[in-house]
Amino acid sequence: MNHLDKLEAQSVYILREAYREFKNICMLWSIGKDSTVLLWLARKAFFGHVPIPLVHIDTHYKIPEMIHYRDELARQWRLTMIYGENKEALDGGRTFPDGKTDRISCCQALKTEALKNTLSGEWSRYILDLETGQYRPDGNREKYTGVIVGVRADEEGSRSKERYFSPRDQENDWDVGDQPPEFWNQFKTDFAPGTHIRIHPLLDWTELNVWEYIQREKIPVTSLYFDQGEGKRYRSLGCYPCTLPVESPARNVEEIIEELRSGKFANIAERSGRAQDKDDGGGLETLRRGGYM
Ligand code: SF4
């Protein structure tokens, strides 16, 4: 087994454990490379069919190409695709791009609050009709008690403190100092009733591993990751008012791998183009303790 085979086997195992152990779980799909690899692994784990609903929290400030890519792939792979949003904040213009709040409050409203209420079923969810390609209100408002997320420990500081199976309280809050140990890959999967669980099958993957796997498996990713002739590309995707591309001439997966192996980004954080990280003190711990993805 090479290193990618080992990572794949571990992630597939976690996904199958999660599906077996927890009722009403969903998988977050941010449309970025990591959660798309996670989706690919789920297709492998369940032999081509993904039995877990995909949930996207739509801030309505995502780069339009991301949404187009999401719906194209969802139709092609016959996914149960659901999105949630903070309609009240959007309708009231209580967002950073509208100039009525700062970035942290905007992320808390459009991402954290939207996620919490979408998962609980308290706010409307919208499901993709695979025949028409249109979204309609989802009649199922049952609470998702577990969520599978494509975070990686090497991505930024607070993520390195995660567990594979990480309990959150009823409010989705994360007590970083009180988590079960996972020595020798022994995972705790029995939690008190009402515990919300986050499952992280990609915790041990690096940015380079993700691109190597995308190359090996020929996983389709959005072209935003590639230089379109301006010497810039996105290294991490997010809302367009808060996400900047990096200087890079990489035009395809092979050139990204070459660039990462060269050490060009060794001292530049993967999320350096994400303005909300800087506003949260250079990391994401404040936001993530409150439920941010
Ligand atoms: S990334 Fe920017 S636009 Fe998106 S939710 Fe956060 S502050 Fe708002």
Q: What is the mean pLDDT of residues 19-34?
A: 94
* Domain coordinates in residue numbering, the chain: 3-205+282-289, 209-276
**243 CA distance to ligand 1 middle (Å):** 9
Give the E-state strand segments of 34-107 in sequence order: 54-57, 81-84
Confidence of residue 192 (pLDDT cuts 50, 70, 90): confident
Average pLDDT, the chain: 90
Q: Whose CA is nearest to atom 7 of ligand 1?
A: 103
Provide the b/e sequence for 51-70 (b: ≥16 CB within 10 Å): ebbbbbbbbebbbeebeebb
Per-residue pLDDT at 174 exceeds 80? no
Of 183-192, 205-214, 260-269, give the range with the top mean pLDDT: 205-214
Pocket test residue of 57, 107, 236, 243 for ligand 1, highest count of atoms within 8 A of CB: 107
Per-residue pLDDT at 287 exceeds 70? no
For residue range 118-134, list pLDDT tens digits in order.
999 999 999 999 999 99
Angle at which helix 207-217 crosses helix 3-21, to 10 degrees, equals 90
Architecture in CATH for domain 3-205+282-289 = 3-Layer(aba) Sandwich (3.40)
Q: What is the mean pLDDT of residues 143-154?
A: 92
pLDDT in the model for residue 157: 64
pLDDT in the model for residue 39: 98
Structure tokens that stand for 117 in this block: 């209420």
pTM summary value: 0.88
Q: What is the mean pLDDT of residues 79-107?
A: 96
